[in-house]
C-alpha cells in the first residue's frame, strides 16, 4: 500500500491527461519501490556488513536502514528493470534521458527509505539469532521491538 497507492493515483491522472510528466512520476514511484526491494534482497547477500545510513556503523545484513555497495548496485538494477519494463509505453521520449530520471528517482527514493528505516521505522530484534529485522517474527517466534514506532 505504502509503495503502490501514490503511483497508482498518478498513473490514473496520466491516463486521463496524457501528460508525460505524470507517467514519469508514476515510473519514479515504481522505480523507488523496485530499487528498495532489490537493494534489500541483493544487499542481504553481501559478505560485507552494511553500514547504517545515519552513522555508517556496521549492522547485521538485512537490517532496516542499512546500506551496502551490493545493495546500492541492486537498487540501480531494480530501478533499471522499471525503465526496461515501461519502455514499450514510452512514446517520443529520449530513452537515455528517461532512464537517467527514473533510475535517479529510484536511488534517491531507496536511500530516503533507508534513512527512514534508520531513524523512524520500527525495528525488532530476534532473541534467538539476535538479528535486527522489520519483521514481527523470526526463527518461529515473536520478535521484540527495539526501536522506532509501531506500524
* Beta carbon of residue 132, minimum distance to Zn ion (angstroms, whole number): 10
d(CA 111, CA 17): 31
CB of 48 to Zn ion, least distance (A): 21
Q: Which residue, 45 or 129, is less far from Zn ion as judged by CB?
A: 129
By beta-carbon proximity to Zn ion, the closer residue of 19 and 139 is 139
The DSSP secondary structure of 34-62, one letter per residue, reads HHHHHHHHHHTT-SSPPEETTT--B--TT
* Beta carbon of residue 143, minimum distance to Zn ion (angstroms, whole number): 7
CB of 145 to Zn ion, least distance (A): 15
d(CA 39, CA 128): 26
Q: Please give the distance of CA 60 from its chain centroid, rounded to a whole number.
A: 18
Cβ proximity of 27 and 109 under 8 Å: no
CB-nearer residue toward Zn ion: 97 or 130: 130
Q: Find the shortest distance in angstroms from Cβ 69 to Zn ion.
A: 25
Return the closest-CA partner of residue 67 out of 95, 108, 102, 31: 108
Contact 75, 110 (CB under 8 A): yes
The nearer residue to Zn ion, 119 or 128, going by C-beta atoms, is 128
Which cell goes with 107? 536511488
> Between 32 and 138, whose beta carbon lies closer to Zn ion?
138
Residue nearest to Zn ion (CB): 126
Question: Is position 63 an interface residue for Zn ion (rule: CB under 5 A)?
Answer: no
Site string for Zn ion, 114-143 (x = CB under 5 A): ------------x-xx--------xx----
Q: Which residue ranges make up the site for Zn ion (CB under 5 A)?
A: 126, 128-129, 138-139
Amino acid at each position: 500500500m505504502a509503495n503502490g497507492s501514490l503511483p497508482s493515483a498518478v498513473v490514473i491522472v496520466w491516463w486521463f491527461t496524457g501528460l508525460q510528466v505524470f507517467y514519469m512520476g508514476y515510473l519514479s514511484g515504481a522505480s523507488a519501490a523496485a530499487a528498495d526491494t532489490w537493494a534489500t534482497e541483493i544487499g542481504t547477500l553481501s559478505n560485507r556488513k552494511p553500514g547504517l545510513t545515519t552513522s555508517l556503523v556496521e549492522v547485521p545484513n538485512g537490517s532496516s536502514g542499512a546500506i551496502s555497495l551490493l545493495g546500492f548496485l541492486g537498487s540501480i538494477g531494480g530501478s533499471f528493470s522499471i525503465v526496461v519494463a515501461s519502455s514499450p509505453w514510452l512514446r517520443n521520449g529520449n530513452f537515455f534521458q528517461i532512464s537517467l530520471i527514473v533510475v535517479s528517482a529510484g536511488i534517491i527514493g531507496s536511500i530516503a527509505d533507508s534513512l527512514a528505516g534508520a531513524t523512524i521505522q520500527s525495528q525488532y530484534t530476534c532473541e534467538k539469532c539476535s538479528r535486527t529485522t522489520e519483521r514481527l517474527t523470526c526463527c518461529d517466534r515473536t520478535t521484540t521491538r527495539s526501536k522506532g514506532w509501531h506500524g
